[in-house]
């Protein structure tokens, strides 16, 4: 029987969270990056590993200190897939390490994980996919998963090493905490969960949604490109939600946004009759109150010419047409107006 030990909370020393990528990937904790196949979750995690190996910054983050990384992948060839991708991302491959599994497969309970972190001083451990590293444990059972996740979490704390687990989604859908393949304890053990999926912006553009964050407020969704020619590129913040990722459906445009877009597009080439503007709003199902509010926010001016009222953009701001994604950070076929100073 273990000896009873009691610790006063006043004896616990508060510590601040250190970040590999704030607020998405903390040091000294487990993070989960999950998604369906062919959505780019492996490429995203390799991009994070590459940035750390080079000492570069990730979107919105500070410049990193060049550090060693451990990359374990049970599905892709290191020769044909992983190294070429890392080289494409500009990684310092001298700082990327692999635990040799030729004689013995690696599992979450394997002592070689901590030994390698100690020997290399690695600041990131990447396990892709986590479902391949449970050894003989039942990944659908709390009794099988929880002890392994607890042990891995303790290792990450001891060495202040970020651990990223890559996970597949199941086919059932539902709430995000139940969307991952395997026990919910995988999701529960992660201090941060990022879900990767398609957007309706472009077939080559994906989004990372921060749908769980225990150590800070959740970060904005981040878009990235997977172009066959240009490869992987970070594209900045986007408004994709976890529900859109899991359902595959884009949230409907708000009436206010719809009103703004209509006004901006209609007035792009000059003044338009007020009556015509109201007719367009009615045809689009936009209420008078919402349309008026959008007009006021845009600073639209009403002028009377030859006995008729017109709407026009304020004369002190010069506008020109540009693709809507330049204004909102997302794709679309419509045209928006952006002040030239912001282009």
Q: Does the pLDDT of residue 100 top 60, yes or no?
A: yes
125, 117 in Cβ contact below 8 A? yes
Mean pLDDT, rounded, for 177-203: 80
Please, which pLDDT band fits residue 268 given cuts at 50, 70 and 90? confident
Residues in the chain: 343
Please tell me which of 35-49, 261-275, 308-322 the model is most confident about, judged by mean pLDDT: 35-49
Q: Which of the two residues, 154 and 253, has the higher pLDDT score?
A: 154
The whole-angstrom separation of Cα 208 and Cα 166 is: 13
Cis-peptide into 23, omega within 30 deg: yes
Q: Could you read off the pLDDT of 20-70 as tens digits, one per residue?
A: 999 999 999 999 999 988 899 999 999 999 999 999 999 999 999 999 999
Provide the angle, in degrees to the nearest 10, between the axes of the packed helices 274-283 and 288-298: 130
- Supply the mean pLDDT for the chain: 86
CATH numbers and ranges of domains, the chain = 15-247 (3.40.50.300), 255-342 (1.10.10)
Give the phi and the psi of residue 312 in degrees, each rounded to 5.
Answer: -150, 160
192's CB contacts (< 8 A; 6+ apart) are 23, 24, 25, 26, 29, 31, 32, 210, 212, 213, 214, 215
The whole-angstrom separation of Cα 252 and Cα 249 is: 9
The whole-angstrom separation of Cα 193 and Cα 173 is: 16
For the whole model, what pTM was predicted? 0.71
Q: What is the CA radius of gyration of the chain?
A: 25
330, 206 in Cβ contact below 8 A? no
Closest CA to 182 of 229, 225, 133: 133
Closest CA to 298 of 268, 332, 323, 329: 268
| Alpha helices, DSSP H, located in 21-63 | 41-54
């Amino acid at each position: 029987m273990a000896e009873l030990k009691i610790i006063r909370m006043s004896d616990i020393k508060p510590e601040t969270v250190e970040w590999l990528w704030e607020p998405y990937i903390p040091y000294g904790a487990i993070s989960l990056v999950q998604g369906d196949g062919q959505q780019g979750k492996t490429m995203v995690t390799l991009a994070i590993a590459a940035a750390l190996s080079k000492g570069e910054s990730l979107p919105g983050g500070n410049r990193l200190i060049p550090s060693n990384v451990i990359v374990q992948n049970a599905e892709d060839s290191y020769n044909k897939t992983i190294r070429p991708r890392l080289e494409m991302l500009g990684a310092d491959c001298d700082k990327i390490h692999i635990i040799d599994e030729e004689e013995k497969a690696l599992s979450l309970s394997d002592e070689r994980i901590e030994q390698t972190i100690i020997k290399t001083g690695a600041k990131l451990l990447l396990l892709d996919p986590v479902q391949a590293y449970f050894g003989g444990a039942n990944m659908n059972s709390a009794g099988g998963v929880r002890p392994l996740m607890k042990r891995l979490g303790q290792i990450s704390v001891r060495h202040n090493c970020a651990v990223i687990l890559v996970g597949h989604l199941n086919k059932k859908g539902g709430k995000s905490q139940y969307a991952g393949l395997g026990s919910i304890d995988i999701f529960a053990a992660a201090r941060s969960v990022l879900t990767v999926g398609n957007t309706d912006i472009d077939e080559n553009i994906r989004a990372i949604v921060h749908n769980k964050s225990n150590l800070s407020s959740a970060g904005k969704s981040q878009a990235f490109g997977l172009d066959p020619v240009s490869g992987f590129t970070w594209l900045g913040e986007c408004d994709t939600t976890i529900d859109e990722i899991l359902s595959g459906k884009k949230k409907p445009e708000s009436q206010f946004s719809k009103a703004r877009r209509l006004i901006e597009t209609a007035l792009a080439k000059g003044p338009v009759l007020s009556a015509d503007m109201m007719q367009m709003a009615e045809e689009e199902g936009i209420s008078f109150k919402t349309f008026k509010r959008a007009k006021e926010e845009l600073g639209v001016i009403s002028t009377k010419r030859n006995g008729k009222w017109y709407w026009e953009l304020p004369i002190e701001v010069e506008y020109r047409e540009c693709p809507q994604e330049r204004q909102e950070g997302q794709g679309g076929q419509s045209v928006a107006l952006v002040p030239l100073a912001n282009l």
